[in-house]
C-alpha cells in the first residue's frame, strides 16, 4: 500500500503543477491565451473564469477529502476542452493532450478509490 500511496502523490503532483500554471495563465489573461480563446469565440472573461475554476479544481485534488470534487471539476473542464477542439477542428495533438490528461486523472481516481476501499 505504501507504494500505491507514493505513486498516488507523484501522480497528483504531476497533475497539479502544470494545471495550476495553465489555470493561472488563463486567470491572468496572458496574451497567447486571449488570442487562442478569441479564435474559438470565447471572451477574456470566460477564459478567466475557466482559469479560476481550473485552479480550484487543481487545489482540491491536493486534499484527499476534496479530491473527488477536484476530479469532477477537471473532468468537466476537459470535456469542454475536447468539445471545443472537436468543433473547431483543432490539430489532433491538442485532442490527444486533453485525452492523455483525462487518462492521468482517471488513474489518480482509480488509485484513490483502491486505497480507500481495500482492507488495511
Query: What is the model's pTM?
Result: 0.88
108 or 1, greater pLDDT: 108
Higher-pLDDT residue of 60, 1: 60
| pLDDT for res 93 | 84
Distance CA 50, CA 58 (A): 12
pLDDT higher than threshold 60 for residue 120: no
CA distance 13 to 71: 14
Q: For 61-107, how does the pLDDT look when each residue is reduced to its tens digit (9 = 90+)?
A: 999 999 999 999 999 999 999 999 899 998 888 888 889 999 999 99
Take residue 74 and report the three cell numbers written for it. 477537471
110 neighbors 12 (Cβ within 8 angstroms):
no
Q: Using 50, 70 and 90 to split pLDDT, how confident is the model at 118?
A: low
Supply the pLDDT for residue 84: 92
Spatial distance between the Cα atoms of 12 and 108, rounded to a whole number of angstroms: 7
Tell me if residue 63 falls in helix, strand or coil. Answer: coil
What grid cell was written down for 43? 471572451
How far is Cα 60 from Cα 71, in angstroms, rounded to an integer?
8
Q: Read off the pLDDT of residues 41-66 as tens digits, 9 standing for 90 and up.
A: 999 999 999 999 999 999 999 999 99
Closest CA to 59 of 25, 111, 20: 20
List helix spans (H) across the chain. 2-27, 31-39, 44-62, 67-87, 92-117
Tens digit of each residue's pLDDT (9 = 90 or more) over 3-32? 999 999 999 999 999 999 999 999 999 999
Amino acid at each position: 500500500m505504501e507504494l500505491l500511496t507514493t505513486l498516488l502523490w507523484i501522480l497528483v503532483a504531476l497533475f497539479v503543477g502544470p494545471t495550476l500554471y495553465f489555470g493561472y495563465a488563463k486567470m491572468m489573461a496572458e496574451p497567447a491565451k486571449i488570442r487562442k480563446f478569441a479564435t474559438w469565440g470565447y471572451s477574456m472573461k470566460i477564459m478567466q473564469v475557466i482559469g479560476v475554476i481550473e485552479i480550484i479544481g487543481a487545489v482540491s485534488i491536493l486534499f484527499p477529502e476534496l479530491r473527488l470534487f477536484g476530479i469532477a471539476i477537471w473532468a468537466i473542464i476537459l470535456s469542454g476542452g475536447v468539445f471545443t477542439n472537436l468543433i473547431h477542428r483543432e490539430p489532433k495533438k491538442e485532442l490527444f493532450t486533453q485525452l492523455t490528461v483525462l487518462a492521468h486523472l482517471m488513474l489518480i481516481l482509480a488509485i484513490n478509490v483502491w486505497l480507500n476501499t481495500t482492507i488495511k
